[in-house]
Amino acid sequence: MVSISFSVCCFIFLFIIALFYFSKEKIKNFDNTIFTCILIINLIGVVIDLVGFLSFNYLGIENPLSILIAKLFLVYFMSYAFSLMIYILNLTFLIKGQVKNLLIPFLLFCFLVLLLPIDIYYEGIVAYTYGIGVVMAYLVGFLIIAIMIFCLLKIRKSVQKKKYIPLLVFVFLTLAVVIIQILDPELTLLLFSNSIVTTLMYFTIENPDMRLIEELELAKEQAEKANNAKTDFLSSMSHEIRTPLNAIVGFSQNLYEENIPDSVKEQVKDIISASDSLLEIVNGILDISKIEANKLEIINDEYRFEKIFDDLVSLARVRLGDKDIVLKTYYDDSIPKVLFGDKLRVKQVILNILTNSVKYTNSGFIEFKVNSVIKDDICRLIISVEDSGIGIKKENLNKLFTKFQRFEEKNTTIEGTGLGLAITKRLVDLMGGQIVVQSIYGQGSKFTIALDQKIVANPSSMVLEDAHSTVLTTDTFDISGKKILVVDDNNLNLKVAFKLLEKYQLDIDTATSGLECLDKIKAGNDYDLVLLDDMMPKMTGVETFSELKKIQSYHSPTVILTANAIAGMKEKYLSEGFDDYLVKPIEKNELNRVLKRFIIDKK
Ligand code: ADP
């Protein structure tokens, strides 16, 4: 009675699982196929058991069907164990094609078990089977279990726990069932234990929903990997492009200042503007790749927001050129003088939306407004840029911040990459702010950014000094006789620097590596200024500088040159002991600032 209750329960349970399993959408793979076999074999086993029980009850214990049922049960036991073995082998080292090699001998064994004679002897209500067929079935069964134990030991570290546990349970349960059966032959628990394993497998590894999720996760992981690889590639390409591009910008700027015919000057101007846009694209790619790799940090410091506002207004005016657009500006005077935030990034996000308004407006107006709401020590800046431009279609509004998305591309010749707003959104998010867009297609758009910045009650003197600093001109001045050393591994960069510096009648010396620089200093050369590139092979600028500092006679002011214009770099270099920091391509007024600081003011 116990046995039939078990079998009926198993049947109901397995039947429900099978219903769920077969009604669900499944991924077609080998594991899945084997599990389908396991489930079907298990169900067949339960049916054989039930038929056996019914025949015992209705036809008597010693009925003509009992031998056939006993043989079928043996084949069931072998098949269940065999399927599980294939499942485990598949996790270990078997390849799909080899299954056939195992299947044929196995079927042969099953056939033999069915053919070979077996006998039954009865003791009360318990029927004992014996004979060569039984011995063979048990031998095959135990061989399979031995193989499984071997495989399980082999894969115990490489296979996930949730896959491993049901298989381990099977081996233990089978061994336990055999022992129980020897101790109490009335208890036939094999089917019950098999059903537990099948159920366990369904709920832990072979549930089609879980499998689908697993596959989806895997696909997502692979897509993310591919995306990262693409971003890495773009980022390293951008680095590579930046050096020659800097040279192009530098040379063209030099050429522009030469005494050249107007027609040539016009072309040089075009080269400068083309390379500037290219540089902007490359920097955009570098920014987005840094953001995506979580390598972009927000570096907060004290700054004057009013200065940023003024700079942005002048930049917007330059970009407007001769477009028939009225630029209206409004600055809320209650904004505290000094705020605490990442001034470079704040400027970058506003510049992006301001530049877009200039790009996508042909006539009318652009209104750049900054309002504020102050609460305790926080100033919420509400920055808005409204234009009467081409506007954005409703269906495009939610795609606006996706990278490389551009609209109306076919109808416009406006240059762009579709990166600006993607970067803007991510930067605003990183700074804990918000950006919203309102737009009516054909009428105009309004971008609003809300940013919380801390108010600095007692600003450091440096920020205030910055407010009163004089504007540097881009004119060169004569500092003839002064000696300068430029260290850069790239000859083109050296040439650009040389061209820039020769206008000051300086005595220019160059070195193409950190070692050469060290040799020159050790040889007794004394310079009024050393410009040291950071990204050099073998010995970086920072490493060279730490060696230079060890030379007692070395006192020249040292300025680091870098193409790495990201926020925070300046502070990093200054903390290394460098006297100042210049970003490549070197801007004229920045160079003037450095030369003034270290040569003129020291005269
Ligand atoms: P880009 O300007 O380089 O194409 P952005 O990411 O800055 O890239 O902008 C994405 C797209 O959003 C633009 O191509 C343009 O179609 C649209 N867009 C952005 N700003 C405006 C605006 N002020 N007016 C109209 N369309 C805009």
pLDDT digits (tens, 9 = 90+) for 385-412: 999 999 999 999 988 998 777 887 665 6
Q: Supply the pLDDT for residue 93.
A: 65
Q: Is 445 in the pocket of ligand 1 (CB under 6 A)?
A: yes
Q: Supply the pLDDT for residue 471.
A: 42
CB atoms within 10 A of CB 513: 17
State pLDDT tens for residues 28-47: 778 888 889 999 999 999 99
State pLDDT tens for residues 105-121: 899 989 998 888 888 87
pLDDT at 566 over 60: no
Residue 186: pLDDT band by 50, 70, 90 thresholds?
A: low
Least confident of 179-193, 326-340, 364-378, 502-516: 179-193
Q: Whose CA is nearest to atom 23 of ligand 1?
A: 357
* 565, 538 contact by CB (below 8 A): no
Residues with Cβ < 8 Å from 533, sequence gap 6 or more? 487, 488, 489, 490, 493, 541, 560, 561, 562, 584
Q: Which DSSP string corresponds to 335-359?
A: S-SEEEE-HHHHHHHHHHHHHHHHH
Q: Which residue has the higher pLDDT, 563 or 573?
A: 573
Mean pLDDT of all residues in the chain? 84
State pLDDT tens for residues 260-286: 898 888 888 888 888 887 888 888 888
Long-range contact pairs involving 210-217 (C-beta distance under 8 Å, separation at least 24) = 211/26, 211/27, 211/32, 212/25, 212/26, 212/27, 215/27
Q: Is 364 in the pocket of ligand 1 (CB under 6 A)?
A: no
Residue 292: pLDDT band by 50, 70, 90 thresholds?
A: confident
For 447-474, letters b (16+ CB in 10 Å) and e give bbbbbbbbbbeebeeebeeeeeeeeeee
Q: Supply the pLDDT for residue 13.
A: 86
| Ligand 1 atom with the shortest distance to the CA of 352 | 7
Question: Across-strand partners of 375?
Answer: 378
Q: Which residue has the higher pLDDT, 544 or 208?
A: 544
Q: Which tokens sit at 131?
A: 């004979």
Identify which of 200-214, 476-490, 531-545 has the greatest average pLDDT.
Answer: 531-545
| C-alpha span between 318 and 112 (Å, rounded) | 93
Q: Supply the pLDDT for residue 465.
A: 53
Identify which of 59-63, 164-168, 413-417, 538-542 has the greatest average pLDDT.
Answer: 538-542
Q: Supply the pLDDT for residue 540.
A: 92
Q: Supply the pLDDT for residue 147.
A: 86
Q: Supply the pLDDT for residue 30.
A: 81
Q: Supply the pLDDT for residue 470.
A: 42
C-alpha of 89 from chain center: 35
Q: Would you call 591 exposed, middle or buried from its count of C-beta atoms within 10 A (0-12, 13-18, 19+)?
A: buried
State pLDDT tens for residues 57-70: 787 767 777 888 88
Range 413-436 average pLDDT: 89
| C-alpha span between 81 and 193 (Å, rounded) | 12
Range 459-463 average pLDDT: 65
Q: What is the CA(306)–ligand 1 centre distance, in A?
A: 26
* 487, 457 contact by CB (below 8 A): no
Range 361-387 average pLDDT: 96
Q: Would you call 131 exposed, middle or buried from its count of C-beta atoms within 10 A (0-12, 13-18, 19+)?
A: middle
Amino acid symbol at 495 = K
Give the length of the chain.
Answer: 603
Q: Supply the pLDDT for residue 137.
A: 85
Q: Is 424 in the pocket of ligand 1 (CB under 6 A)?
A: no
With a pLDDT cut of 90, the percent of the chain lying above it is 33
Q: Supply the pLDDT for residue 199.
A: 85
Q: What is the CA(407)–ligand 1 centre distance, in A?
A: 7
| C-alpha span between 478 and 457 (Å, rounded) | 42
Q: Which tokens sit at 352?
A: 């992006």
Residue among 325, 385, 392 whose CB has most ligand 1 atoms within 8 A, to mutate: 392
Q: Which residue has the higher pLDDT, 185 or 331?
A: 331
Q: Is 383 in the pocket of ligand 1 (CB under 6 A)?
A: no
* 70, 120 contact by CB (below 8 A): yes
pLDDT at 564 over 80: no
Q: What is the CA(386)–ligand 1 centre distance, in A?
A: 13
| C-alpha span between 63 and 66 (Å, rounded) | 6
Q: Whose CA is nearest to atom 19 of ligand 1?
A: 356
Q: Whose CA is nearest to atom 13 of ligand 1?
A: 406
Q: Is 406 in the pocket of ligand 1 (CB under 6 A)?
A: yes
Identify which of 124-133, 404-413, 429-438 has the greatest average pLDDT.
Answer: 429-438
Q: Whose CA is nearest to atom 2 of ligand 1?
A: 416
Q: Which residue has the higher pLDDT, 402 or 211?
A: 402
Q: Is 351 in the pocket of ligand 1 (CB under 6 A)?
A: no
Q: Which residue has the higher pLDDT, 184 or 592?
A: 592
Q: Is 355 in the pocket of ligand 1 (CB under 6 A)?
A: no
Q: Supply the pLDDT for residue 256.
A: 87
Q: Supply the pLDDT for residue 358.
A: 95
Q: Supply the pLDDT for residue 562.
A: 82
Task: Tell if the pTM clears 0.75, that is, is over it.
Answer: no
- Cis link prior to 585 (omega < 30° from 0)? yes
Helix, strand, coil shares of the chain, percent, nearest 5, are: 60, 15, 25
Residue 134: pLDDT band by 50, 70, 90 thresholds?
A: confident
State pLDDT tens for residues 334-362: 999 999 999 889 999 999 999 999 999 99
State pLDDT tens for residues 136-155: 888 888 888 888 888 888 87
Amino acid symbol at 261 = P
